Structure 1
Amino acid sequence: MASAKVSHPVKSASEESKVLVVENGKMVDVQDKEITMEGLCSISSYDQWARIPVSGPLPKPRYKHAAAVVQEKMYVFGGNHNGRYLGDMQVLDFKSLSWSKLEAKIQSEEPSDMTGTASLPPCAGHALVPWGNKILCLAGHTREPIESLSVKEFDPQTCTWSTLRTYGRSPSSRGGQSVTLVGGTLVVFGGEGDGRSLLNDLHVLDLETMTWDEFETTGTPPSPRSEHAAACYADRYLLIFGGGSHSTCFSDLHLLDMQTMEWSRPEHQGITPEPRAGHAGVTVGENWFITGGGNNKKGVPETLVLNMSTFVWSVVTGFEGRAPPTSEGSSLVLHKVNGEDFLVSFGGYSGRYSNEIYALKSSRKSGVPSGQLNEPETNGLASVAENSSRGVIFEIEELQDEKTIKRADTSKTLLQAVKGEKSHIEEKLNQEELQSSRLKQELANVETKNVELTKELDLVRNQLSAEEARASQLENEISDLQQRLQKMETLEKESESLRLEKDAEADDSSSGSNQRPADKGFWRWNG
């Protein structure tokens, strides 16, 4: 997919500086026309992207960063530039449209103990989620591998990072996942873990108790993927769109009912979205806007919108050129000014890294989404119930009618049949619950056995290490003995040579004296 790029073509200086914006549906080179826009409110046309001029020191161009809006300011953290992870915190003030860099501090476990000015370890592919007047940071790829996912909190008032204590089993570390606020919980789905392993697991963090849960779901979940987009509808439904594996990009749409924990594939209408990964999304009422992304061949220029109550896809606008709305790994946030909804896009990669700001004023107003999908069906059921009540009243008034009595008897028979079927279904449901309970117990037993086997394996590994150490010591002793043996052999040879010399001297002396030939002398005897 597009996020797998490792080399980027070099562009000429003239091509790098050329930027196109949309005005009245036409592309305009900003170098040929002086920009006079002042703030987001100066955007007059709806559903068109416009480049926003800003002041202050510009952040380093980047992609795969994260952004969040808190109190009229957009906070941008981390990202990737030329393969290097970034760890800076940049702030765009929407009132003055000026950039500034924050020198954040890291709070230690002791409240009174503060480190010097610093930031979190550089990372990319993470998520920022506004929570009250603070910002939560989750997941992301870092230079140093991390076992489990931690939750960091940034306080804009004190400009301080802190690590929140969580309970339960934390998800494994990952990047390119989606983190979605659903009611008072954060839902983490998928991503790319250690060793480039793709994931499709689901984890839920209760923000009130700060407890992690991994729920069992039914239905068919999305295939393992990263760099997808996720959204929440009616504080109940989680939607997953697109993303990619190591070899392909997706354009599928998945729905998870957070009350029943059941996955489904809703049938959508309208246009058919192109496969993409690395895109960004934001919701305005019941409308889900999707921008950017790539599909191994090219970037996706169209900005799409999905009506989450009807599942109808449509194109909001197209955009040519190398701007954040068409980029991979750009950030997208929603900001409201004077009752108008503005989509604000920053950064991204589309042949070059960007640090520009683009905005789109949406013609689709924020509405209060209903608590259920397919509202017309619910209204239809209510209408049927009302008509049924009227029918009952009519039957009571015409109780003397023989046909009505027969109809009532038929209704009783049908009611009894429905009750019998209900009892049968409840019995089957109880059996399924028992079976599920047994399976859970078996799973717990298997996990316990796995823990025991792991302990035994660790013990065997420790014993093996001890044996290897002993074997190494024995090898050293054997080597020492061999050296000593060689020295002894050398000494024996020298001793034998000396004996031979002494024997020769003894023979010479015996031949010149009156000693008996059989007498071999002192050296010969001791030899």
Structure 2
Amino acid sequence: MEWSTPTQQGEIPSPRAGHAGVTVGENWFITGGGNNKSGVSETVVLNMSTLGWSTVTIVQGRVPLASEGLSLVLCSYNGEDILVSFGGYNGRYSNEVNVLKPSHRSTLQSMETPVPDSVSAMQNATNATRDLESDVATVQEGKIREIVVDNIESEPMVNKVEETSERLLAALKAEKEDLESSLSKEKLQTLQLKQDLTDAETRNTDLYKELQSVRGQLASEQSRCFKLEVDVAELRQKLQTLESLKKELELLQRQKAASEQALNERRRQSSGGVWGWIAGTPPNQQDDA
């Protein structure tokens, strides 16, 4: 199964995108669309049995029918097929409803057998000069435009379109109310978030003040610790000095003890010599004894 490009008859429409199409029997009606420069103003029909193109109608100016993104549906009214379009964008968004009632003659023309390109061009030129009858009615916020081909009276269709427009407006109003309700909820939520943000900022300010206080206390403790370290260093230095003094004191005490011992020895020797002299014993004999 593969795609193929069949041979088409008549004047092939210009390239476009964003158009809308719907089938009526063997006819495929295509309207709207654009090519990044302007909207397409003609409504064309392709007979799918003969692959022949023809132009049904042409609109003038920047109207919603010559725009991109419009919607197109087929409905039946009083046993007749009617095309209804809505919306579109051609620089601004539209909410217009447009109605097209294909005539029997235009349908038969699109269903005829293929003709030469020259004859098809003449037919397209003739179709471009058709008289278009438009009735414009304003219904509250929307516009309804009805395009009737071949001067066919369509007052009942206008009433039906008005009813459809009223239903659309009612739906839009309901949607608007829902959006307003959602907007109110969002506003309340925004106010709540602002209040929460204010409370958070207040708590943040209090925490910052507390942090500054703790930093001040920490700085004081660090200063006191530094002073204590200085005092400890001084005490260690004094302790080392005391140990040196203690060693010197012990040395002096030992020297003093040695001096006292030597002095006592000399005294003892001196005392023995005197008594020996008194007893008539020479010092040398006492030493021998």
TM over 0.5: no
TM-score norm. by structure 1 comes to 0.22
Larger strand fraction of residues = 1
Structure holding more helix per residue: 2
